[in-house]
Structure 1
Amino acid sequence: MISSYTDYGSLLKRINQLYKVDVVKVKLHRDMIGRVYLFQSNNKKYVLKLYRSSKCGDAFQTIDILQYLRENGYPAISIVPTKNDKMSVYLDTPEGRCVGILFDFVEGKEPDRKIEIENIGLQIGWLHRLMGKYPYKLIIRTKSDYIDDYISIMREVNYIPERIIELEKYGDELWNRIGMLPRGFCHGDLHVGNMLQTEASEYVLLDFDDASGDFPIMDVAYLSDDTNFNNFSEESYDKTTRLFDRFYKGYIKEQTISAVEINSIYDFVAIRHYQIIARIVRCQGFQSIDQKDMDKQYEWLLHWKNLCEMKRHY
């Protein structure tokens, strides 16, 4: 039992019991949607991802995806097996029993998106083509995951009712438009903060927790998104278009995208706001958002909606 998420002594002891490693140092690297720890032995580094109890299904799907990618030559992070040759472990934590996955540490740097975008597009095209042959069923996420949970949170914190209605209506419009898009594998949280560029100029993806069989174009949209999440700018629409054009020069060498999918990129930019805020609040609690934050996001989304209508004549 780990008494707290900074109970490093118990965590070190447990990992050494479960794995053929001799780690001597550990620190909590990130505590957001999942908890990420960095481990150090005398000559090697490891990363432990500890999944919240509600995310066990995501953890097991991650294992299957990473093994499939590595078997097919795609640059993917490697999982360290336990002494019993298992790909995951259960750890008792203050929140209950959680799934943990230990990874080999990857040396690399976060890629500069503005410089690397065409090469990243090429590799993501390869990812989507390869995952088109994935033999296992992928999780399908719902409108609640992408949009409705954000609306529920607004109601739970007693946000301005008229604004909730506007945001709910916009969310319905977004979902109705993307509902007819082609389905297939998508990483679900694809940004340069979730990849490392190696010396071989490969981009190793680190986080498949949000992978699904939903909309491949969502990955394209998130990597092409050149908006500022908190500060709206009318220039960001055209900047996103230009960044997508560069991304697609690489991507098209592996996969093509329909005109309808390209048009949906701007809808996914908005959906990302609904999705990310809800995810943070559910993991970090209501103290992670206040009236000012809600007002700012409401204004951002309505400005974006109006700009898209002007640009695309809905």
Structure 2
Amino acid sequence: MATVVQEPLVETPLVKAVVSHSVLDPSFIAAEMTRRYALSGKVTAFLLYRGMNDVYLVQDENERYAARVWRKTYRDVDEVAYELDFLDYLRGEGFAASTGVRARDGNLYFKVDSPEGERAIALYDWAPGHKFGDMLDIGIAERIGATFAQMHLHGLKYHGDAPFSSDNAWRFEETVPALLAFVYDRPDDLHDYAIIADRLKQRLIDLQAEDVPMGICHCDFHPSNVHVSEDGQITLLDFDGLGEDYMMQDVQNYVWGNLFYGFSPSYGEAFERGYETVRPFTEAEKANKELFLLAKAFRLIAGMAESSKSVGRGTLRFRGLDWLGEYIKSRARPLGLL
């Protein structure tokens, strides 16, 4: 009987996957915090949430901290320095915000290599208390508004006489292609969002000729981005969207966020009242409230579409495409944007 000789099995090399968003192991975070920061005793870490950026709770023998690992996006990795430097200034001014902790080498952040490329990491003071959204109160909403206006005034002082860049006001245009791809199976949205994007950008450009002041803005302030302690201390947090923008846009971001969470409009109104005790709105700002509310909603949906490749379409789990589309379009028409 003839002997059958088998050819040796040749394995095909595995294709290297393209990674959009890796998750760093908490033990790695703990080890890096121990190595880089002047923490006490044993350091532990665990992942709080994986989202637009990943946040870890870090704890040594005495203190609790938050560590943020920025997601790799179209933005340069070192843009995080803008936020961290401003927060360091606020710390020096005695303003209550969750600010970055300096490492042993004096830096406010460091970078690591990951499967998708360089990512920035920073350690922050833990904000005391609880989210305002979990303890709604009209009086506290007014105080938060006043505190937010003080942050804007600090930003004007920090920035000095240099002109503000308006690019951030319409940076959403970088995410519009992702939004149109996101709604590929919704013909009306495909048509309408392309029109709104172009017209909204032009309206925001036109505002530069009106009395609508710009400043250093949080850019994502809402009822979950402020903590209130038992003794009433207000601490602002999550400044990872920090940039130069219309200050009234920043105010209406909060008002819209209040609506997004389904809270009574009275809390947004109280926030505005408190804000104006520190920095009164101009008439042009008041006249453009609806435009800024629309801009916030459009920025959000476009940003979530861009982020969906990293964190999934579940970013729309709180409010769906129908809700957001109705909100945006019902306001775009009276504003002449659709």
TM range (shorter): 0.7 to 0.9
In structure 1, the partner of 2:119 is 98
Tell me the CA shift for residue 295 of structure 1.
Answer: 4.3
The residue number in structure 2 matching 1:44 is 63
Partner of 1:19: 37
Structure 1 CA distance for aligned equivalents of residues 283 and 214 of structure 2: 15
Q: Secondary structure at the match of 2:274?
A: helix
Q: Which amino acid aligns with 2:61?
A: N
The alpha-carbon distance between structure 1 residues 147 and 294, as it changes in their structure 2 partners (threshold 3 A), is farther
CA gap 1:147/1:74 in 2 versus in 1, 3 angstroms: same
Q: Answer whether contact 2:178 2:305 (CA < 8 A) is retained.
A: no
Q: Please name the residue that 1:305 is paired with.
A: 332
Whole-angstrom distance in 2 between the partners of 1:36 and 1:191: 18
Other structure's SS at 1:213 match: strand
* Cross-structure match for 1:169: 195
1:194 paired with 2:231, answer no
Distance across 2 between alignment mates of 1:67 and 1:264: 32
Instruction: Give matches, 1:252-291, under 5 Å.
Output: 252-285=276-309, 287-288=312-313
Residue in structure 1 matched with residue 270 of structure 2 by the alignment: 246
| 1:5 paired residue number | 23
8 Å CA contact 2:48–2:57 kept in 1: the answer is: yes
For the 8 Å contact 1:58–1:209, the answer to whether it is kept is no
Report how far residue 9 of structure 1 moved.
2.4
Question: What TM-score does the superposition give when structure 2 sets the normalisation length?
Answer: 0.77
d(CA) in 2 for partners of 1:48 and 1:174? 35
The answer to whether 1:75 aligns with 2:104 is no
Q: Counterpart amino acid of 2:36?
A: L
> Any gaps of 5 or more consecutive residues in structure 2?
1-20
Q: Is the 8 A contact 2:26 2:56 kept in 1?
A: no
1:128 aligns with 2:152: yes
- How far apart are residue 113 of structure 1 and its match? 4.7
Contact 1:167 1:298 in 2 (8 A): no
Task: Give the structure-1-normalised TM-score.
Answer: 0.82
Give 1:178 shift.
3.1
Residue 168 of structure 2 contacts residue 243 of structure 2 at CA under 8 Å; is this kept in 1?
no
- Structure 1 segments, 4+ long, off by >6 Å, are 136-139
- 2:252 is matched with which residue: 221, 224, 229? 221
* Alignment deviations for residues 244-272 of structure 1 (CA, whole Å, 9 cap, x no partner): 54223322221111122123222222222
* Letter paired with 2:123: L
Q: Highest Rg: 1 or 2?
A: 2
**Structure 1 unpaired stretches of 5+:** none
Identity score, percent: 22
Q: Which residue of 1 aligns with 2:105?
A: 84
Residues 183, 190 of structure 2: 8 Å contact kept:
no
The residue number in structure 1 matching 2:83 is: 62
Question: Letter of the aligned partner of 1:9 in structure 2?
Answer: S
**Deviation sequence 1:127-153 (CA, Å, 0-9, x none):** 111211113777654465335623542
TM-aligned CA deviation for residue 96 of structure 1 = 2.1
